[in-house]
Amino acid sequence: MIAKSLKDGIGRGDNLRNDGDVDLQFADAPRDRIVEARYQVPYLAHATMEPMNATAQLKDGKLDIWTGTQAPTLIRADCANETGVAEENVQVHSTYLGGGFGRRGEVDFPRFAARVAQRGDSVLNGRPEQVVWKREEDMTHDTYRPAAISQWRARLGDDGLPVAIDGHIACPSVIGSVIARTFPSVPAAGPDNTITHGAFDQPYGVENYRVSGIKAPVDIPIGFWRAVGNSYNGFFHESFMDEMAHAADQDPMAFRAALMKDYPTAVGVMKRLADVSGWTGPKQEGRAKGVAFTLSFGCWTGQVVEVSQSDDGIKIENVWCVADIGQALDPAIVAAQMQSGIVYGLSSALGQEITFDDGMVQETNFDSYDAIRMANCPNIIVDVMEEADHRGGAGEPGTPPSIPALANAVFALTGQRIRTMPLSKEVDFV
């Protein structure tokens, strides 16, 4: 359905970036100056270490809820509506998350606990009721990161830099899905810019530049997953940047920097990244590096991933991350969040996907949906800059560049360009 939506929607999507005249540039483009690629990513679960749970107590007309949540105000309003208790008589006690990543921005688990508490109120005299979903339940009725497919083409100029880029991304609407189950009376009309986040809003100066989002009508429940649209568009956009650089026979770092010349913050990040990663240093036999950049949540983030080849497969050795967040209130926390986001992104690249058979989710626990473990986690070096004019976020920007940086490193090592996630479908990792 998503592939069909892409095919049918090209030329009819929501253009959130439409600079210059893209069609004119391709009308007379020499075939040898055109680069084309198609990318695909799967559904992903949040896989929080602590499954969804909540405790609710309805007593003397007052509802108390204890839960790890990313949206306490939303839970308060929703559970008041669910039980008929006045909102001023609903108290949400926020506990530590146990892992959120967007999943604990939903209201389904506290809503269920409130319903159970209300049902038992007259019988059990207001005893607290706890709802805990087993991991198998949590994994199989998650609100997933949506699958997405994109199609890209570029026309390269005489200097090797693109004079036109045309990208189309098909994906179910996160905003539409979230609104439908959280605010069912509110219509989810109009463009959903989360479909193209991380692609239409990147600091690359190309005169003719179009990025369109196409809503795919899929009923699978989807939601906010760490970095939202940036999570897959980082892979799409930065993999394509690398493909253009390779087609132009240019260094991938220098290629990006040349396109960023009008964005001094981005240029500063890439310069620092080249320095700390030793990008221009001598190449080592059996090792290679890949680079990627994504501006997300106001944080300018570049990463270099280094991989090596062994008899057991490809090993991720090092990750260098430079993030310009503006003012870092606590640089150590910013660095920790970047490390966390990198581990989360690389975990998805190494083998995670949610698949369906006859309407049922097939991955039910960490035996079939694993994450990076300590034994294969790379060395991660984070450099926090504070040059940007505006303060950005830290919790999500580490994830988007990690995935394409790894894919680009695999290409630099093996010559194999992987355009479908997870990458482990095509190469073996240690």
Instruction: Report pLDDT digits (tens) over 270-282.
Output: 999 999 999 999 9
**C-alpha Rg value of the chain to the nearest Å:** 23
pLDDT score recorded for residue 183: 87
Residue 186 pLDDT level (bands cut at 50, 70, 90):
confident
Under a CB-based contact definition with an 8 Å cutoff, are residues 30 and 199 in contact?
Answer: no
Contact 416, 354 (CB under 8 A): no
Instruction: Give the pLDDT score at 122.
Output: 55
Please check whether residue 329 is in contact with residue 335, taking contact to mean a CB–CB distance below 8 angstroms: no
pLDDT for residue 123: 57
- Least Cα distance to 66 among 141, 139, 136, 132 occurs for 132
pLDDT value at 72 more than 70: yes
pLDDT digit string, tens, across residues 344-393? 999 999 999 999 999 999 999 999 999 999 999 999 999 999 999 999 99
Q: Which residues pair with 154 in a beta bridge?
A: 35, 165
pLDDT by residue (tens digit) across 195-215? 999 999 999 999 999 999 999
> Residue 190: what pLDDT?
82
Look at strands 90-94 and 62-67 and give their pairing. parallel
| Strand 162-171 with 208-215, pairing | parallel
List b or e across 5-16, with b for residues whose CB sees 16 or more CB atoms inside 10 angstroms: bbeebeeebbbb
| Residue of 227, 230, 192 lying closest to 212 (CA atoms) | 192
- Kindly state the average pLDDT of the residues 161-189: 93
Instruction: Give helix 399-414 / helix 229-247 axis angle, nearest 10°.
Output: 30
The token pair at 223 is 């939601």
The stretch 133-141 carries a mean pLDDT of 95
**pLDDT for 428 beyond 90:** yes
Domains and CATH numbers, the chain: 2-45+144-425 (3.30.365.10), 53-132 (3.30.365.10)
* Tokens 């970036």 found at: 17
C-alpha distances in Å from residue 386, one per residue of 28, 56, 228, 300, 327: 44, 43, 24, 10, 5
